[in-house]
């Protein structure tokens, strides 16, 4: 994945968006961040529907960072939709949520997420996590190119 391939962050909490943005910057993640604030927007973005139909403005993401407790469409529904989608079934999905529930963890992995992280309370730990993710996903991991729309 090149550094220009965007990361799609699906997060409804502005504070968490702030911490995430701050953490990616401090961690040195260069990939652009595309943010949608609910589950429905996430699927619309990936489908290129409505306001997201312009791929120049809303390019296909290389990784999805997904919260679970989302308005309109729950994060697990979004995950299921992605894995059942013909285009996006192979895209890496990282769950970043405040839920520590074993059921959520189990269901998320069964539906096909690649990693499940509980949001750390300490912003420094989030930075540390982002560094790890950057090294793993954007440096070492061999990913498929984003599907063309």
**Binds another protein (CB under 8 A): choice among 57, 86, 121, 148:** 121
Per rule CB under 8 A, is residue 148 in the interface with another protein? Answer: no
Per rule CB under 8 A, is residue 119 in the interface with another protein? Answer: yes
Hey, which residues between 57 and 86 contact another protein (CB under 8 A)? 69
Q: How far apart are CA 137 and CA 27, in angstroms?
A: 13
Per rule CB under 8 A, is residue 123 in the interface with another protein? Answer: yes
Per rule CB under 8 A, is residue 128 in the interface with another protein? Answer: no
Q: What is the per-residue DSSP string for 73-119?
A: S-HHHHHHHHHHSTTTTTS-EEEEES---HHHHHHHHHHT-SEEEEP
Per rule CB under 8 A, is residue 20 in the interface with another protein? Answer: no
Burial 16-28 (b: 16+ CB within 10 A, else e): bbebbeebbeebe
Of 4 and 101, which has the nearer Cβ to another protein?
A: 101
Q: How far apart are CA 2 and CA 143, in angstroms?
A: 10
Q: Which residues bind another protein (CB under 8 A)?
A: 13, 15-16, 19, 22, 69, 98-102, 119, 121-124, 126
């Amino acid at each position: 994945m090149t550094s220009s391939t965007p990361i799609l962050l699906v997060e409804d909490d502005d504070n968490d968006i702030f911490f995430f943005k701050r953490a990616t910057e401090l961690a040195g993640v260069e990939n652009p961040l595309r943010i949608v604030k609910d589950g429905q927007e996430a699927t619309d973005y990936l489908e290129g529907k409505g306001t997201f139909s312009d791929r120049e403005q809303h390019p296909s993401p290389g990784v999805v960072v997904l919260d679970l407790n989302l308005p309109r469409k729950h994060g697990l529904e979004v995950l299921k939709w992605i894995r059942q989608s013909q285009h996006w079934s192979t895209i890496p999905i990282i769950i970043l949520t405040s839920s520590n529930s074993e059921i959520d963890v189990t269901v998320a992995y069964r539906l096909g997420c690649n990693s499940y992280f509980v949001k750390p309370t300490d912003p420094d730990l989030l930075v540390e996590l982002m560094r790890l993710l950057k090294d793993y996903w954007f440096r070492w991991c061999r990913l498929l190119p984003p599907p063309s729309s």
